[in-house]
Structure 1
Amino acid sequence: MTRREASMKKLFKPVAAIAATAAVIVSAPSASATTVHARPVVTHVKTVAKFDFAAGDVAENITINPDRSVTISMVGTAAGKRPELVRIAPSGHRTVLAVGRQGDGITGNTRGSDGTVYYNVWSADASRAGVWKLPPGGSPQRLAALPADGLPNGLAIDPSGQTLYVADSQKSTIWAVPVSGGPATAWLTDPALAIEASAPVPFGANGLRFHNGAVWVSNLSKATLLRIPVTATGAAGRIHTVTSSLTGVDDFSFLSDRSNVVFAAQNGPNQVSVVYPNGTTETVLTAADGLASPTSTAVRGKQLYITNGGLNEPHDPKLQSGTINLGALFAH
């Protein structure tokens, strides 16, 4: 069994195992204690599109497009179902943008200002592992290679559109990839991005966003959300731990371009939490709202989108949306 096959096997075990990371995470300060919001922060939650787990539709990552469609990475399944990159229209209509090979996984995706879609391919094949791009009207092509024994996960582009950042869940590393082409370089390798030694699921650095002059990254095995300033020279600044209270954290998004309020998908606990700038976290959605192994979130205006991988039986992968109640959000 290859390392990737072993990791995929663990990924598709019941996600209750991920929740067990609570026993090994670093104790959080009192300001980071998790509570449940007294007033609904997200209302009118509905299913925008339902997916087919048996066909490989394990929704992993999401990007909102200017026309209000969304681009979703379907990671594929351990049973060998092929991964896909798809666009979902507001009506729920699905368009396949790219199809991976059997045994590969498609993880993070993001969008350039010219409409180019960038996405990660997780593969044991060194000729395929890396960051790929899909230009408007063009065909998929690999932009940069990444280690075949790594796991490229979260992906983001900087505001200048010049650099892509990739969270590697196996290598304790954030990679930087020039949009213009060229080799990937290790922008940051640090223990804060590593897999916790006793964690039941072997995923370290996971979700990644570029926001307000910093790279933000989650670490699933450590339950952390980190902020890493980008210096004037483009190097990584000092790592700041925003919170250590996000058990089973996957990917996340921000309330707006200016706000540091975060909506984080927590796969194992089957919930979405808000993280405030002071590190306080509050649960705003749970399984009672229809969550099914949430993997990522995205925000546009007052609309919150959630991708659900459906890892647990009855395997209900889907795209949900809800309305953010700003009054309740800031009444904590």
Structure 2
Amino acid sequence: MTPHRITALFAAALLAAGVPATADAGTRLADVRVLAHFDRAAGQAAESIAPEPGGGAVVGMIPARQVVRVAPDGAVRVLVTMPLPPDGGGTTPVVGTPVVTGVARSDRGDVYFLYSAGQGGLTGIWQIRAGTPRLVVPLPADTMPNALVIDSDRFLVTDSAGGRIWQAPLRGGAASVWSADPALAPHGFFGANGLKVHDGAVWASNSDRGTIVRIPLTGGPAEVRATGLAGIDDFDFTGRGDEILAAINQDSKLVRVGADGSAETLLDAGDGMQGTTAVVVRGSRVYVTNGANLVGDDSNLLVARLRR
């Protein structure tokens, strides 16, 4: 039994005995289970998540260059496999191989995803329409687009290689840099990674620096809101103010980050985490992907229930 589970049991015993808690214990997870296993040997390292109505989800796969749909019963279907560039994709920034990363789903059900191939005409935001991918927003060949968010009538995209956040119209077209704040810059490998819009601001994680930063939608300098999260990938808000659940790829764990920046591990390797890549909260339901890209071989999609 892991130490954080022992702590949780002890806290529950105190409550049962009528001893009042001295502080808010924060969000907890219950009913954690694997919804789907993926074929890691075939390159299906699960990355980002776009939940769908009914309990299913669309998931990006690196380096299989795929987008898959997971049905509510766990059945997996490949929606698209992206072609290799003519040169094989060895010029893809940072990773040196073409990858599908962020996925997003519009309110009307359109599915979009990011492809990084180290080549113009392939790197950018793609849409799946009638089973066929089409490029809707090209991005420069030297970018490493990672997280994709739909914010009203525009796309927002993190660039892990360039340490930038790009924006582009939802209808498609040219992209422009929304922020190149120094807090987004890499420090040897991956810079800006996860991305969310919350409470009047754009929030982004920086994998190299182990931080989460907040940039007002109106512009201005980034404010560091959490530190000490080395290897952080994606993150999402729990619905309790600025409380966050963060996927720590490097250490294979899911942590709760309080509004004050404090961090607490909720799930770790002892719970089956293997290269934890993404987390999305929808109401009381939590989706977590493990890419098994740094350790293990069980790439999967987990679901859990929030206990606020």
Aligned-pair distance for 1:303?
Answer: 2.1
Deviations 1:72-97 (A, max 9, x none): 00011xxxxx3110110110011222
Higher mean alpha-carbon deviation, 244-253 vs 137-146, is at 137-146
| Residue number in structure 1 paired with 2:149 | 156
| Residue number in structure 2 paired with 1:241 | 224
Deviations 1:193-222 (A, max 9, x none): 1111xx4xx111011112222111100000
Question: What TM-score results when the alignment is normalised by the length of structure 2?
Answer: 0.85
| Residue number in structure 2 paired with 1:261 | 243
- Aligned match for 2:51, one of 45, 64, 75: 64
Paired letter, 1:240: E
Larger Rg: 2
| Residue number in structure 2 paired with 1:278 | 260
Paired letter, 1:271: K
Distance in 2, matches of 1:264 and 1:247, equals 11
| Residue number in structure 1 paired with 2:202 | 215
Going by fraction, where is strand more abundant, 1 or 2? 2
Aligned-pair distance for 1:307?
Answer: 0.3
Distance in 1, matches of 2:173 and 2:50, equals 24
Aligned-pair distance for 1:281?
Answer: 1.4
Report % sequence identity.
37
Q: Tell me if 1:113 matches 2:107.
A: yes
Please list every run of 5 or more consecutive structure 1 residues that lacks an aligned counterpart in the other structure.
1-34, 77-81, 327-332
Paired letter, 1:131: I
Deviations 1:215-242 (A, max 9, x none): 11100000000111101xxxx2331111
Aligned-pair distance for 1:36?
Answer: 5.0
**Structure 2 counterparts to residues 1-332 of structure 1, below 5 A:** 38-39=7-8, 41-76=28-63, 82-102=64-84, 103=89, 104-135=98-129, 137=130, 139-158=132-151, 160=152, 162-196=153-187, 199=188, 202-231=189-218, 236-256=219-239, 259-326=241-308
Q: Is the 8 A contact 1:263 1:272 kept in 2?
A: yes
Number of residue equivalences: 275
| Residue number in structure 2 paired with 1:20 | none
Q: Is the 8 A contact 1:263 1:275 kept in 2?
A: yes
| Residue number in structure 2 paired with 1:10 | none
Q: Which has the higher contact order (CA 8 A, sep 6+)?
A: 1
Q: Is the 8 A contact 2:79 2:131 kept in 1?
A: no
Please list every run of 5 or more consecutive structure 2 residues that lacks an aligned counterpart in the other structure.
10-27, 90-97
Computed over aligned residues only, the root mean square deviation of the Cα atoms, in angstroms, reads 1.7
Q: Is the 8 A contact 2:274 2:296 kept in 1?
A: no
Change (3 A) 1:244 1:106: same
Q: Is the 8 A contact 1:45 1:289 kept in 2?
A: no
Distance in 2, matches of 1:58 and 1:163, equals 28
Aligned-pair distance for 1:138?
Answer: 5.8
Distance in 2, matches of 1:194 and 1:58, equals 25
